[in-house]
Structure 1
């Protein structure tokens, strides 16, 4: 792909303040896209946007709780107004709360469903409405939902999280079918990242130790590496590059897929 394969594109990245979201935002920006960071973390989100702006990227920040319809409406309107359009959604915002099934708390399960499932489908809803003909942007576009390798393997202590990411996969495929059949001009795909040593990833490693599935963090991480044919953890840049590809014209005939970026862990 060319270095500016997304020149002129306008992207909203949810959960874009840090971690995978920030890395995807940076990768899209390097490829020529303008970026709106959407997050509940206002200070961190504004700082991430400011870093992008230093590199000459047209950017902004919008407060976004992905579980709330009105906040999605505001985020889309802010993206169109600030960037001059809207044709990429990176549906990245998500949470993981570790628990053995025998210890699951209802409120934790409900919260993961709200953020990971409801948040994702609301993102698709408002992207479709804005990107389809007659919408606020109206030129079609691409949606990349962030699922997880957890949607493809049986990994202990993350049953509910795995279920929500499996739901992201199913919603991606149905969204792609609806968008195609209804002539929206929107491609919808998802990515299955492997374990990444972000704050969330390392918290999972610590939690695995707490529930008695590993003697220490090094052993927890080592067990993941052992299950990964390429012999390492994923890096945020791996996910960013995959997102750029799925948003680019090189992927113009790809929709409704789940792309593993997991070093082979989920094969």
Structure 2
């Protein structure tokens, strides 16, 4: 994602083959934690309509869009991202899936205004800078949707990473950063708390364009925890690597990054497990909007 103040790429993770593999595994873990659905039950009837148009915003490598194209063969799926570096060859994808480049923090192209029945977004918080960017995304999605269309937005529920033990204690309202994440937050310029939101549902409720706002927070799935921990460890390594010399500049910041990596490796070395707390928010664009 990019900043609203310019075209500089603010995406802090990587776009290499390893990162794409991480996105692939992350997709299936998040889908399983959601109960197996790609689209919330409230949205599925719209997706199943003949010639429904579905956008996957910030698609990354397009794995969600690819699976959605197979699940909804009568729909037209459009995968959108500010970068096409992770896109698969078009000829390998289902015929009802197309790819395009678009940064959701920028003006909506005319061809996509009032075009979609559903806009799906997942995990873009790391590329947003506080409430203003969330508002821009919400306004742009509203412009992309037909009246009566749906937004489904799944993103980190701050602070995201949560330590899990055999009690499987999962506190939805716990905002405490694990030690390694607190150290990372200390290292990067401006911290990462500004990019996280606990209120996408409130943002949509406060926007007169949207109605019927619902939020769910997926719980812990014990059998997935080892695999979830593995992808989170890879994600954290990407965060650290992507921050060096960009959001973490200077000897002290780099030292703190090293400490953050060390704290995570120490925890994992003791057999520690992690889960990633997210929220899924669904809302309908009002017919009069």
Q: What TM-score bracket applies, with the shorter chain setting the length?
A: 0.5 to 0.7
The Cα shift of 1:126 comes to 1.8
The structure with the largest helix share of the pair is 1
Would the aligned equivalents of 1:176 and 1:188 in 2 still touch at CA under 8 Å?
Answer: no
* Cα distance change, pair 31–125 in 1 and its aligned pair in 2 (3 A): same
The Cα shift of 1:125 comes to 0.9
1:158 corresponds to:
185
* Distance (whole Å) between structure 2 residues aligned to residue 59 and residue 12 of structure 1: 10
Q: Which SS does the other structure have where 2:135 is aligned?
A: helix
Would the aligned equivalents of 1:11 and 1:90 in 2 still touch at CA under 8 Å?
Answer: no
* Distance (whole Å) between structure 1 residues aligned to residue 233 and residue 100 of structure 2: 21
For structure 1, the residue ranges without an aligned partner over 5 or more in a row are 96-111, 132-136, 253-267
Within a 5 Å distance, the mapping from 1:1-267 to structure 2 comes to 5=44, 6-8=47-49, 9-18=52-61, 22-32=62-72, 34-45=76-87, 47=88, 50=90, 54-64=93-103, 66-68=104-106, 70=107, 73-74=108-109, 77-79=110-112, 85-90=116-121, 92-95=123-126, 113-114=128-129, 117-131=131-145, 137-151=146-160, 152-155=175-178, 156=182, 157-158=184-185, 160-165=191-196, 168-170=197-199, 172-179=200-207, 182=208, 184-185=210-211, 187=213, 189=215, 196-197=231-232, 200-204=235-239, 210-215=257-262, 218-219=265-266, 221-222=268-269, 226-228=272-274
The structure with the largest strand share of the pair is 2
Q: Which SS does the other structure have where 1:203 is aligned?
A: helix
Root mean square deviation, CA, Å: 4.4
For structure 2, the residue ranges without an aligned partner over 5 or more in a row are 1-35, 161-174, 220-227, 244-254, 285-289
The Cα shift of 1:43 comes to 3.8
Would the aligned equivalents of 1:89 and 1:144 in 2 still touch at CA under 8 Å?
Answer: yes
Q: Which SS does the other structure have where 1:153 is aligned?
A: coil
The Cα shift of 1:186 comes to 5.8
Q: Quick check: which has more Rg, 1 or 2?
A: 2
TM-score, length of structure 1 as denominator length: 0.53
